[in-house]
Amino acid sequence: MLAAFRAGVAGVRSSIRSYAHSTFSSLKVRNYRLYFIGQGVSLCGTFMQALAQSWLVLTLTGSLAAVGIVSALQFGPVLVLGPYGGIMADRFSKRKLLIGTQSAQGALALLLGVLVVTHAVTLWMVYAVAGALGVINALDNPTRQTFMHEMVGRDLVGNAVTLSSTELNLSRIIGPMLAGVLIATLGIGMCFMINAASFVAVLACLAMMRDGELQKTAPAPRAGGQLREGLRYVRRTPVLRDALIMIGVVGTLTYEFQVTLSGIARLTFRANADTYALLISAMGVGAVVGGLVIANRRGASMKALSLAAVGFGAATIAVACSPTLLLAALGMAIVGVFSICFTTLSNTILQLNAAPRMRGRVMSLWSAAFLGSSVIGAPAVGWIGDRLSPEWGLAVGGIAALGAGAYGLMAMKRHPEIRLAEQPVPPPRAPAEDAEPRYA
């Protein structure tokens, strides 16, 4: 009896070790481990600033449309300039580009913090800083996405993407909670100042990386028509094209939580920044849980992406219909689970199916579809929130996600080569660089 018990305990321990080994496998890579540490610190500051910025604009204007304009200015340049950022990521050292973009973001956070602390800030200044951040993001986002592959390689890129997404959502819990406390005690300006200081950590970690351990691809030569070449490549590759369409729909209308949740907190529940932080943090909790569950997956399928979009949409609509703050917070946790599933699967599908020399341009389109689409979605959702209610703005996003999921399921039927069953990521091999990838 005792021997059986001990054998059972040993089996459980072995299963836990195996799960942990698989779930956190990419952290064994030193360069990625440094990146993970630096980003963890910086992302907490980023989410502090995101909450503080929305609350600052809402305090200055009382308008959700104004919050939407700030979001559009911050992410709009990614839509226009993102593909050019992808070309830069394909041409130059990604680590050096990130050192430059992260330094610039820290400087802008410091500037906005000084303006707020000295009571010199006006709405147009917030608009200007948001626009400048957007220009930097147009280069920073595709560079960060492709740098993931360079740090860990093809076999671990799915795990690295999931862990980074989980870390991002853990920061979404910590950052807003700290921001809520700071706004109530020291004022909005301190959120921007602390975010500026947080960039020191990520810059130090980037500087400590070993350049020789990066799995670099040959830089794309300078040539005319590279942007058109990237767009043609995506258009004739069904898995990339259809995934990007889904991402664009969801990114435009569903991921405008910066607009909708601030309105629900202030206008629906008549609460303060702490309530806004609670809703954002609840979403982060769900995303962390979801991320840890799917972190040991090596493959990604269009079917899984479509189902994640459907679940994302249904959960978002449920939050919009929630009569109490408690139910809304619980609903946001479920939204967080489907949110990380959708973002991780979409990112992994593109990373694994894009030809190496095209990866920067493909991931720049991911950034444009996911972030840059806010230039359209954020003002539109803000306008709906002002004219109808914040709940309607949230519900429209849920309906958009349901539509994206339906599109993905129909796309699989249109292409006879699609394999419905998810397959594991194959070991590295040497296919033709521009071979047409299939849905996995």
HEC profile of 346-376: HHHHHHHHCCHHHHHHHHHHHHHHHHHCHHH
Directed axis angle between helix 390-414 and helix 302-320, to 10°? 160
Query: How many Cβ atoms sit within 10 Å of the Cβ of residue 404?
Result: 28
Read off φ and ψ for residue 435, nearest 5 degrees: -60, 140
Distance CA 168, CA 171 (A): 5
Distance CA 282, CA 257 (A): 12
* CB distance 368 to 79 below 8 Å: yes
SS3 of residue 135 by DSSP? helix
Distance CA 389, CA 62 (A): 14
* CB distance 53 to 133 below 8 Å: no
Distance CA 97, CA 104 (A): 11
First and final C-alpha spacing in the chain: 46
Low-confidence ranges of the chain (pLDDT < 70): 1-23, 154, 218-227, 271-273, 295-300, 371-375, 414-440
Distance CA 76, CA 92 (A): 24
SS3 of residue 154 by DSSP? helix
CATH superfamily, domain at 25-209+226-414: MFS general substrate transporter like domains (1.20.1250.20)
Report residue 246 as tokens.
Answer: 């889904």
Closest CA to 283 of 53, 51, 65: 51
* CB distance 396 to 381 below 8 Å: yes
Buried b (16+ CB within 10 A) or exposed e, 28-46: ebebbbbbbbbbbbbbbbb
Distance CA 315, CA 401 (A): 10
Distance CA 238, CA 95 (A): 31
Buried b (16+ CB within 10 A) or exposed e, 311-349: bbbbbbbbbbebeebeebbbbbbbbbbbbbbbbbbbbbb
Residue with tokens 């970690």: 205
Helix spans in 118-153 (H)? 123-152
Distance CA 302, CA 411 (A): 9
AA identity, residue 422: E
To 10 degrees, the CA torsion angle through 123, 68, 337, 421?
-140
Distance CA 281, CA 388 (A): 26
Distance CA 77, CA 83 (A): 10
Helix spans in 186-324 (H)? 189-208, 226-235, 238-253, 257-263, 273-294, 302-320
Residue with tokens 């408690």: 326
Residue 28: per-residue pLDDT:
84
Query: How many Cβ atoms sit within 10 Å of the Cβ of residue 186?
Result: 13
Residue 60: per-residue pLDDT:
85
